[in-house]
Homo-oligomer: A and B are copies of this chain.
Amino acid sequence: MLVLITYDVSVISEGGQRRLRKVAKICQKYGQRVQNSVFECVINTTQFAQLQMELLASIDEDCDSLRFYRLGDNYKAKVQHIGVNNAVDIEGPLLF
Sorting the interface of chain A by its residue count into under 10, 10 to 19, 20 to 34 or 35 or more gives: 35 or more
Question: Do A4 and B69 touch (CB < 8 A)?
Answer: yes
Copies in the complex: 2
**A82 and B69 in contact, given A6-B38, A35-B8 (Cβ under 8 angstroms):** no
Contact A78 B71 (CB under 8 A): yes
A-B contact list, 28 entries, CB within 8 Å? A4-B69, A6-B38, A7-B35, A8-B35, A8-B36, A8-B84, A10-B84, A35-B65, A55-B82, A60-B83, A61-B83, A62-B84, A63-B83, A64-B84, A65-B81, A66-B81, A66-B82, A67-B79, A67-B81, A68-B79, A68-B81, A68-B82, A69-B69, A69-B71, A69-B80, A70-B79, A71-B71, A71-B78
